[in-house]
Chains A and B, each alone.
Chain A
């Protein structure tokens, strides 16, 4: 077989192994089992500050949001890097100046909405902000 093809296959195999390693050790993991979590939505300029409590077995926040999409009035948009929230409580963000900032127990979320794991008694706050 051509030497170059062998080198390319070897690199692809190594990349696949690294991918498995990343998924096993570094990507966020969900917690199994029943949890009670709170979702808080704040859209100050519309006077919206709503709190919802859910009992769920889901492992990631995105799953909970998708199940309650209608009640929370959420719209999503799919991008290369994952799903992004474009609207809540029927309010659609102006993509040029606004976004929903996510807090987990009052702290800034460090990942996108699709990677936030659900933990019992956690509060997830979505606040409309300008950038």
Chain B
């Protein structure tokens, strides 16, 4: 890994933290998903997984250690790997919008599994049901955000990547 890559990983993870904080006043509407998808398409899954690990660790620094934050170490790399695998199949932003929507709708379910390990299945089940409306907002807003922002973001990032690596 070159020093340029290390700097890039730092910058990309900072954009995720900043993007998440900027929208944190609207519950479950976020641009982290669209950014991870765009970064995976443009920079590849290896670098983006490292970005996600830095991002998850920064969350712990910001919010303190919580059991739900552990899920961040799995759920974002999972999205990145899914995006990488779907790259060859998905030909338009509609496919990614559907991927992001499904990811948002099932987001609470993944956390419920994580919480079940610590507090039992009954707690996990309640956690999931209680959060379903938030998942509904999450998946729906992901769909809209990805559909409208992914293509302009990709275009911009490809341009910046070319300039950054002198390609």
Which of A's residues lie within 8 Å of B, judged by CB? 4, 7-8, 11-12, 15, 18-19, 22, 26, 80-81, 110-112
- Separation of A86 and B139 alpha carbons in the complex (Å): 32
- Asked whether B140 lies within 8 Å of A80 as measured between CB atoms, the reply is no
Interface of B is mostly: helix
Which of A7, A12, A18 interacts with B94 by CB under 8 Å?
A: A7
Stretch at the interface among B38-46, B76-84, B108-116, B122-130: B122-130
- Separation of A8 and B123 alpha carbons in the complex (Å): 34
- Asked whether A4 lies within 8 Å of B27 as measured between CB atoms, the reply is no
- Asked whether B129 lies within 8 Å of A26 as measured between CB atoms, the reply is yes
- Asked whether B147 lies within 8 Å of A110 as measured between CB atoms, the reply is no
19 additional A-B residue pairs with CB within 8 Å, beyond A7-B143, A22-B132: A4-B148, A7-B94, A8-B143, A8-B147, A11-B101, A11-B140, A11-B144, A12-B140, A15-B137, A15-B139, A19-B133, A22-B133, A22-B136, A80-B27, A81-B27, A110-B122, A110-B123, A110-B126, A111-B130
**CB-defined A-B contacts under 8 Å, sample of 25:** A4-B147, A4-B148, A7-B94, A7-B97, A7-B143, A7-B147, A8-B143, A8-B144, A8-B147, A11-B140, A11-B143, A11-B144, A12-B140, A15-B136, A15-B139, A15-B140, A18-B136, A22-B133, A22-B136, A80-B27, A81-B27, A110-B126, A111-B126, A111-B130, A112-B130
- Separation of A15 and B94 alpha carbons in the complex (Å): 17
B147 and chain A: residue at smallest CB distance:
A4
- Separation of A45 and B154 alpha carbons in the complex (Å): 59
Which of B's residues lie within 8 Å of A, judged by CB? 27, 94, 97, 101, 122-123, 126, 129-130, 132-133, 136-137, 139-140, 143-144, 147-148
Report, nearest first, the 5 A-B pairs whose CB atoms are least far apart: A15-B140, A110-B126, A80-B27, A11-B143, A8-B144
Contact residues in B for A8 (Cβ distance below 8 Å): 143-144, 147
Contact residues in A for B94 (Cβ distance below 8 Å): 7
Contact residues in B for A112 (Cβ distance below 8 Å): 130
Expressed in whole angstroms, the minimum distance between the Cβ of A16 and any Cβ of chain B is 9
- Separation of A11 and B148 alpha carbons in the complex (Å): 14
- Separation of A113 and B18 alpha carbons in the complex (Å): 33
Contact residues in B for A80 (Cβ distance below 8 Å): 27
- Separation of A110 and B125 alpha carbons in the complex (Å): 10
Contact residues in A for B122 (Cβ distance below 8 Å): 110
